[in-house]
Structure 1
Amino acid sequence: MPAIPPSGGIRMYCNPVNPAYSPELFTGYLHQMTFTQRLKNTIYSIFQRQLSKITYRYLDELKQKYNINPEISTFETLSQAEIWFIYGNFVLDFPRPYQPNVISVGGITANPARPLAKDLEDFMQSSGNNGIIVFSMGSYVTAMDTHMVDVFADAFAKLPQNVISKSAGQPPTTLPANVKMLEWLPQNDILGHPKTRLLICQCGINSVFEAIYHGIPVICIPVQSDQWDNAKRLEVKGVGLQLDLRSLTSDVLIQAVETVLRNDSYQSKMSRLSNIFHDEHLPAPQRTVYWMEKVVRHGGVSHLRTSAFDLNVIQYSLIDVYSFLGIVMLVSVVTFIYLWILLCRFASRCCYTKRERQKTE
């Protein structure tokens, strides 16, 4: 799931969205945008709203088909929610306003590292001072062809570090001696190991938060969905590099690894993000449990629910207020112009009468 939902979803719980500084999901924009980017971001924001309406329409049909509260719409069902959990954290994303019943729980899968299995621990220790690189492309690994698999294998063979790689697809033509391939990785535990130096991944949100939690710099190779946005944020914050999979070569990957590992700024900035991430009142898992139990203890948290849900579109958008103010301003302008014309005509008549008197005299 994305760290920050698109504006169509955000508006679902009546959250204010300003496309001037809140980049839309899948755009790859930053919080500071050029005119062209703000224009595109605004258009995309409008598109997201319409897409949400279409999605709700299909969900309404499913509700009717399976008799799931068919008397109310999907939007009305969602608007009755007492609390919203958002899988995000401002340590990664750019600041934006949230309603008080919107709780960020990004990083819920990130936890203190547990001991590794003996064979895996032995491989970690065999890396010596060079350390370990973790390579995981998520579900995309099953779609990589042999050529791309060999590109990664060739690059890893030339690195001094050991590499732990997730493998569930095509195996490389030749498996380098410094690479250990596993069908499943205890990624959180490996990232928390003292020998781990770097994560190379597609930038799925769970991997990103686990890397931040354990303070591990990232080389990002996004392939779909929100991964480009996550990669862009990591790169802008100076804790990772983004590579293009379409033009990736072993030499490019090796250069990126050397850049991140030899430049201490990547590690120091990621350590700072990690410290900020840890410096919260409650970690994400405990925070989630706390709010769920609070809803149960008090029979809901309606005092945090905005009254915006009780307004119709005209009221929420202040169309009636702006219309009234527009009419008042229009009447005021028309009245002013009318009075000004009367004053001008009166002054003109006075001047004309005075000139006529002077001629007569």
Structure 2
Amino acid sequence: MLSVWISLLLFCPAIVRTGNVLVVPVEGSHWVNMKIIVEELHSRGHTISVVQTIDSWYIKEHSPFYTAITVKSESGFDEGFITELIAKLLEIQRNGRSPWARFKLEMEQMEAASVMHIKGAQLVEHMFEDKQLMQSLKDAKFDMVLTDPVILAGVMLARHLDLPLVFNVRWTTHGEGHFSIAPSPLSYVPVPGLELSDKMSFSERVLNVCVYCFTKFHLSQYVVPHYEGLMQKYFSQDSFMSLFQRADLWLMRIDFVFEFPRPTMPNIKYMGGFQCKPAQPLPPHLEDFVQSSGEHGVIVMSLGTLIASLPQEISEEIAAAFAKLPQKVIWRHKGERPASLGNNTLLVGWMPQNDLLGHEKTKLFVAHGGTNGVQEAIYHGVPILGLPLIFDQHDNLFKIKFRGGSKILNIFTIDRESFRQGIEELLNEPSYRTNMEQLSRLSRDLPMKPLDYAIFWIEYVIRNKGAGHLRSESYNMPWYSYYSVDVILLLLGLLLIMILTFVVLVKNLCSCVCRRIKRKRD
């Protein structure tokens, strides 16, 4: 028996190799899914340290799963700032959907991003100048950094400490992650936010190219300038983009059941739906409420972690529409109780969303379109009535609508009748449920669970001290080399020389012939 255990230890090093992981997360819903990975790593014996700032609101200082490293600086992603920003964005949208309103919306988001990057750069500066903190991080001998690149702190910290870097990513500091690392032909790869598919008309392709150029302008004006001082001081040999592109692994929180097909890279690993799992029994009071729905079933409504409540007049219209339905409704709602609320509607401050979506009596999910909720709806095959509000929510819901599993309404123009009609269309038209169930089957038909897949690759980086062999060398190339501009100019130069040489030869030949003809005539 002893020899068997010795053999296992010798020939299965992956089983016993645990690591020391430094996690630099992002607040809000981003932490909700990062926490799942942290807890799973902890369950497998890894030691986890999580960086938090003094304005953290989701990331707790004390946890059984990790040790917190508190940095006495602001992240720029604090609750007050985000709440105020969302209120401004909602107010702009309430005032109309004209081109001017859209422009104001984009400008407000750019200005907010600029403020966040200023604070983000200050956070990095504070960390790097705190000699005691940096020494303690070096002494901890971390095996890798796991970070969400929506903020730059983890990216720069990994480079400064010379540690392998793994991203839990869909978005980076400067946009959707693929555009930073993978070839992205604009002829069939839509820029996020445009609600375009991979089948674009000519006019849509023109729009796609123009918006892509605008995002590049936004990056150069509203993001990069805030980090130029840090880049010159600490990373003079690197470009801004190369800090991202040198990451060992990109764990993408999507898959190609959700995303449109596009080029990818060897160090991009897809873990879409990693937070999804089979439904667990509901708390008794919720189970009783669900069972009381009878054959009509239940509608679940949630607008995510960042939207505490809607404007009261909108809540009243939604509540009145729910009151006319035969279904029971469970609504995550933290605002003032609507006066039009019916007896069939239960307001809750928190809900076990995954377990409710997986319940056999759940017929419909009314949602804002956050990635976590959309993935859970796909996993459980529940149609979505989309009420997108901000950020990537419109785009997420469009992808489900394109596949026939969702209907989208403008939350700022709906009334009780249009909202009720939208619900009834989804409930009465079988194709919505059929299409979502097909997406569910595709999302589950995998050789291993997405969370296990993600953990395997994190442990792969720990075991092998990085994954540089999967990383493209494009990050080391200047733009003119990446796009072969220098090669094209050389070939064009050679072609021009050949053409000029040919022209000179022909001219000289013609001149000689003309002289001979003239001599013969003379």
With the length of structure 1 as denominator, give the TM-score of the two structures. 0.89
Q: Considering Cα pairs closer than 8 Å and 6+ residues apart, tell me whether 1 or 2 has the greater RCO.
A: 1
Shift of 1:203: 0.6
> Match for 1:121: what amino acid?
E
Deviation string for 1:267-323 (max 9, x for gaps)? Answer: 111111111100112222111111101111112111111121222222212121011
- 2-side partners of 1:301 and 1:201: how far apart? 38
- 2:364 aligns with 198
| 1:314 counterpart SS class | helix
Which amino acid is 1:58 matched to? H
Q: Do the aligned partners of residues 133 and 72 (structure 1) sit closer, same or farther apart at CA in structure 2, a change above 3 Å counting?
A: farther
Q: Is the 8 A contact 1:4 1:93 kept in 2?
A: no
State the partner residue of 1:108: 274
Q: Distance in 2 between matches of 1:187 and 1:62?
A: 42
Per-residue CA deviation, residues 171-214 of structure 1 (Å, 9 max, x unaligned), is 21132111111001111110000000110111111110000000
Query: What is the match of residue 198 of structure 2?
Result: 31
Count of aligned positions: 353
1:45-93 per-residue CA deviation (whole Å, 9 max, x = no partner) reads 22323433452442454688xx9x5666554443332111222111111
Structure 1 range deviating more: 86-95 or 208-217: 86-95
Relative distance call for 1:263 and 1:340 in structure 2 (3 A) is: farther
2:419 alignment partner, SS class: helix
Residue from 322, 330, 334 that aligns with 2:496: 330
Q: For the Cα contact (< 8 Å) 1:213–1:278, is it kept in 2?
A: yes
Q: Which residue matches 2:156? A: none
Report what 1:41 is aligned to.
208
Q: Closer, same or farther in 2 for the Cα pair 1:62/1:196, shift >3 Å?
A: farther
For 1:332 and 1:97, how far apart are their aligned partners in 2? 37
Distance 1:157 1:333, change over 3 A: same
CA offset at residue 37 of structure 1?
2.0
The answer to whether 1:305 aligns with 2:477 is: no
Q: Which residue of 2 aligns with 1:282?
A: 448
User: Is residue 16 from structure 1 mapped to residue 174 from structure 2 by the alignment?
Assistant: no
Aligned pair partner of 1:164 in 330, 341, 351: 330
Residue type matched to 1:94 in 2?
F
Give the Cα–Cα distance (whole angstroms) in 2 for the partners of residues 319 and 342 of structure 1: 34
Q: Which amino acid aligns with 1:109?
A: Q
User: Which whole-Å deviations, capped at 9, do the CAs of 1:213-253 have from their partners, x for residues lacking one?
Assistant: 00001111111111111111111110111111122111111
* Equivalent-residue separation in structure 1 for 2:218 and 2:249 (angstroms): 23
What is the TM-score with the length of structure 2 in the denominator? 0.63
Distance 2:231 2:280 in 1: 43
1:14 Cα offset (Å) = 3.0
Q: Quick check: which has more Rg, 1 or 2? A: 1
Bigger mean CA deviation after superposition, 49-58 or 97-106: 49-58
Do the aligned residues in 2 keep the contact of 1:141 with 1:168 (CA within 8 Å)? no
Structure 1 residues 197, 353: CA separation in 2 closer, same or farther (over 3 Å shift)? farther
Indicate conservation of the 8 Å contact 1:153/1:172, yes or no.
yes
Equivalent in the alignment of 2:438: 272
Equivalence map 1:1-361=2 (5 Å): 4-5=170-171, 10=177, 13-53=180-220, 54-59=222-227, 61=229, 75-139=241-305, 141-345=307-511, 356=521
Contact 1:23 1:30 in 2 (8 A): yes
Structure 1: which amino acid aligns with 2:194? T
Q: Structure 2 unaligned segments of length 5 or more: list them.
A: 1-29, 31-149, 151-168
User: Secondary structure of 2:295's partner?
Assistant: coil
State the Cα RMSD in Å: 2.6
- Cα–Cα, structure 1 residues 118 and 62, in superposed 2: closer, same or farther, change >3 Å? farther
3-state SS of 2:251 partner: strand
Q: Give the secondary-structure state (helix, strand or coil) at the position aligned to 2:448.
A: coil
Matched-pair contact (CA < 8 Å) for 2:369–2:396? yes
Q: Aligned partners of 1:12, 1:201: CA distance in 2, in Å?
A: 27
Alignment correspondent of 2:67 = none
